[in-house]
Structure 1
Amino acid sequence: MDMILARTVGLLVVAMLVAIGARRCRLPYTVGLVLCGFFLALMRVDAGPSLTHSLIFLVILPPLLFEAAFNLKWAELRPDLKVVACLTMAGVVISAGVVAAGMVAIADWPLRSAVVFGVLIAATDPVAVIAMFKDNRFTGRLRLLVESESLFNDGVAAVLFALALTWAQGHEITALSLFRGVALSAGGGIAIGLFCGAVAIVLAGRITDNLVETTLSVAAAYGSFLLAERVHASGVMATVAAGMLMGNLTMGENGPTAWLSESSRDFLANVWNFAAFIANSLVFLMIGLALAGLPFGGRSSLTIGIAILLGLLGRLLSVYPLCLPFRNGPAAVPAREQHVLWGGGLRGALGLALALSLPHSLPGRDEIVTTTFGVAAFSIVVQGLSMPGLLRRLGFLGART
């Protein structure tokens, strides 16, 4: 235990140094973390706990999801809700279908393994996407679109992944069971999240202690996630729902819906920003550490290359066609925003967590995990490095000085 704690502290020190260096070199922080972790592993530095499904799902994801949802304003999201819903639901299905079909036709994967991989890699990852925008200090409607889509389509992808895995293991899936599974998982997760958030709000409204109020928010973030997963609902949806409820009732104007004072709101926001920074730092460093130990030679490299191209194609077909109905009106998505939606479709922690959760009995399990890591690495490093230039070229960021 002492050794694990010491190594974790060591990772945080490395993350701090990377943050300082990345800012001076104008390198995206997340890219710097992945590269640093990769080189540490090449030097055979035993840097701490390995990346596992449980670590990502039960420790890292809840604070990242809650912090992002906490800062997502319903009043700003509501005008674009149709766009986000379309990209979230139809987009995941289209992207998963393109990737699965391509892996069968080009990489000669078994259909069931290809479908599982297509679903787990389809969702854009909120961890990587939100970190990208924070790196570039980017705000506005476009950030709202990309971040909200990544938050919600994670829930959809997690639900579809569970159903795809059930089918891949030989169980029959009917249209009715598919609908029931999606409704119970997504609806159950949202209901649990709203319940946990509401309980935390009621309790916090009777207290005027910053530390107790923050503890209640932590309990809501982790409690909603764990409770939802316990009853086979979507933990992602639960934490997002709890975060949005508490954030929108917390961060609004003082009045009947505000349950915290202004100083308490600032304190809570700062605590969650810090928690998100710690979780982000650990997950991206550990992704880099894990990459160095994977077999990327020969056929694996070819398969990863195919998967990367299919992922980009699937993202393209799930953005541009779906934005066609929104060419006019207040919810219009201009072409330059569509370019960022496509280029900003990063993959990362969620896909890795789902891949690492696959049973070892699943045919092609190791190849799926290796390919997922390869796609995530490309997404974080290559797409992450290209995004500042793309945002500047499209006029969303000022010229570099």
Structure 2
Amino acid sequence: MQKGVAILHSESVLLAQEFLTSILIMFLIGTIGGKLASKFNIPDVVIFLLIGILLGSNALDLIDIHTDSTINQVILLFGAAFIIFHGGMITHFSILKQVWKTITLLSSLGVLITAFIVAIAASLIFQIDFKVALLLGAILASTDPAALVPIFQKFPIRRKVSQTVIAESAFTDATGAILTVVVFGIIQSGASVNGLTISWQFIQLALGGIVVGAAIGWFAAFLISENDRGLLREFTPMVVVLTVLAVYLLCEKLHFSGFMGVFVAGLMVGNAKSLKLTVLPEQEHAAHQFIDAVGLKLRMLIFILLGSQVDFAILKHYGWSSLLVVVIFMFIARPITVLASLLPDRKAKWKREEIVFFFWARETGVIAAALMGIVVSSGLPDGKLLSAVTFLAILVTLIVQASSTPYVARKLNIRESDDL
């Protein structure tokens, strides 16, 4: 009998129970926080982040899931992939047709502009190798649909603006991740920074993700559509999960961009009617209801984890220098990126107040944290420095920008209810 008890309390079982306890705490406190966020009209991701800081080692020490742990990476990668898929689903082809040039520029030229401005600032401020600084810029170049999607669902703004921002965030997450992979590979191999090499690898990863995502996304839409066989209509939520996992894992296996793939797959499923596939309202409702429910749980886990992992000792060590890089990132890199991407798109007819809103709609979170987790776990010598700047950027952009996005939209009169 004692042997049986010992088996039940083996190290792996105890670790599993410890993890489940952390999940219980995060869901319990997170649910209360979500309710408070709803009551006071505050974006829930900001509350979740603050809850994480409270529950982490800096305060109550109730959560101890390390950045480089497998379970942390599983939550971040699946959560990011699922949320990017959702961003694709709620993006309409009709809007993309109007602003495709803007989105293309933001997610290609814009990512490079942001990355290089941050790299120049970081290399000068911290006196580090330019390739390492460029890695930091690449990590910070992506925006965060995990923060933006729920904000725009709760505080509707002009459809063209909101869907462009969401599409941008999904595409820049993919292209930012691609640039990070390319620059990290250059650092690991010791090669020099070559514009042609970066461009070619960038295109290869992006196009591969687009092809895989489009193929599997179309097939998923077919499976839940009103076709002759109606294969998996009654299992729509399961098809969503399988699609996210299959696209992400196959893309990564083939050395393509998994994040680009899941976004394109979401586009295909969300725009099934444009693909001559009829998805019944029942299946469409089931898919969105499931994604909303799971998305909330994933946001809760992701941002509470991010908050719990903030190392204030490292932040204190790099202090004002890190904050200076973040300020340059927010108030110099982003406006230049937006102007360089929106002004050439004459067809979109962007108004001044919409351009100003793009300056501010620039939260950083899930993808940056996931990429930083990969970098930290690799043992990069400057990993702690990059980690400090990244976490500070996440904290500042979420607390300052995400929380004030509804207020800024109201002041600029670009809410859906405002006169155009």
**Does TM, normalized by the shorter one, top 0.5?**
yes
Residue correspondence of structure 1 range 145-160 to structure 2 within 5 A: 145-160=164-179
1:294–1:370 contact (8 Å) kept in structure 2? no
Counterpart AA for 1:309: V
Question: Which region of structure 1 is more displaced relative to structure 2, 262-271 or 131-140?
Answer: 131-140
Tell me which of 26, 34, 37 is aligned to 1:19.
Answer: 34
Is the Cα contact below 8 Å between 2:43 and 2:151 reproduced in 1?
Answer: yes
Paired residues of 1:125 and 1:350 also in contact (CA < 8 A): yes
Q: Quick one: distance in 2 between partners of 1:102 and 1:297?
A: 19
Mapped pair 1:44 → 2:63: no
Do the aligned residues in 2 keep the contact of 1:70 with 1:243 (CA within 8 Å)? yes
Structure 2 CA distance for partners of 1:259 and 1:3, relative to 1, 3 Å: farther
Encode CA deviations 1:147-169: one digit per residue, 9 max, x unaligned: 11111111111111111112222
Q: How far apart, CA to CA, are the structure 2 residues paired with 1:188 and 1:282?
A: 30
Q: Give the deviation of 1:83 after TM superposition.
A: 1.3
Task: Quote the Cα distance in structure 2 between the aligned partners of 1:278 and 1:264.
Answer: 21
User: Where in structure 2 are the equivalents of 1:2-401 lying within 5 Å?
Assistant: 2-41=17-56, 42-47=58-63, 49-52=65-68, 54-169=73-188, 170-172=190-192, 174-204=194-224, 205=227, 206-207=229-230, 210-249=233-272, 252=273, 257-291=276-310, 294-298=313-317, 300-312=318-330, 313-326=332-345, 328-329=346-347, 331-358=348-375, 360-397=378-415
Letter in 1 for 2:369: L
Structure 1, 390-399 or 348-357: larger mean CA deviation: 390-399
Deviation at 1:243, TM superposition (A): 0.8
Residues 322 and 190 of structure 1, relative CA distance in 2, 3 Å threshold: closer
Query: What CA RMSD, in Å, does the superposition of the two structures yield over aligned residues?
Result: 2.2
Alpha-carbon shift at residue 71 of structure 1 (Å): 1.3
* Structure 2 unmatched runs, 5+: 1-15
State the shift of 1:36 in Å. Answer: 1.5
Unaligned runs of 5+ in 1: none
| Secondary structure at 2:215 match in 1 | helix
Distance 1:334 1:238, change over 3 A: same
Deviation (angstroms), 1:261: 1.6
Q: Secondary structure at the match of 1:296?
A: helix
State how far apart, in whole Å, the 2-side matches of 1:172 and 1:107 are: 20
Cα displacement (A) at 1:364 = 0.8
- Check 1:138–1:15 CA distance in 2 against 1; reply closer, same or farther (3 A cut): farther
Q: Which secondary structure state, in structure 2, belongs to the residue aligned with residue 219 of structure 1?
A: helix
**For structure 1, which segment, 198-207 or 114-123, has the greater mean C-alpha deviation from structure 2 after superposition?**
198-207
Instruction: Report the Cα distance in structure 2 between the residues aligned to 1:278 and 1:15, rounded to whole angstroms.
Output: 9
AA in 1 matched with 2:364: R
Change (3 A) 1:179 1:385: closer
Residue 5 of structure 2 aligns with which residue? none
Is the 2:236–2:286 contact (alpha carbons within 8 Å) kept by the matching residues of 1? no
Deviations 1:67-119 (A, max 9, x none): 11111111222111111111221111111111101111223222121011011
Call closer, same or farther: CA 1:72–1:381 in 2, change over 3 Å: same
Letter in 1 for 2:288: A
| TM-score normalised to structure 2 length | 0.87
* Counterpart-to-counterpart distance in 1, 2:21 and 2:230: 36
Contact 1:156 1:186 in 2 (8 A): yes
Tell me the TM-score normalized by structure 1: 0.91
User: How many percent of aligned residue pairs carry the same amino acid?
Assistant: 21
Q: How many residues align?
A: 392
Give the Cα–Cα distance (whole angstroms) in 2 for the partners of residues 230 and 8 of structure 1.
Answer: 29
What is the distance in 1 between the residues matched to 2:398 and 2:165?
16
Structure 1 residue 293 displacement after superposition? 5.5
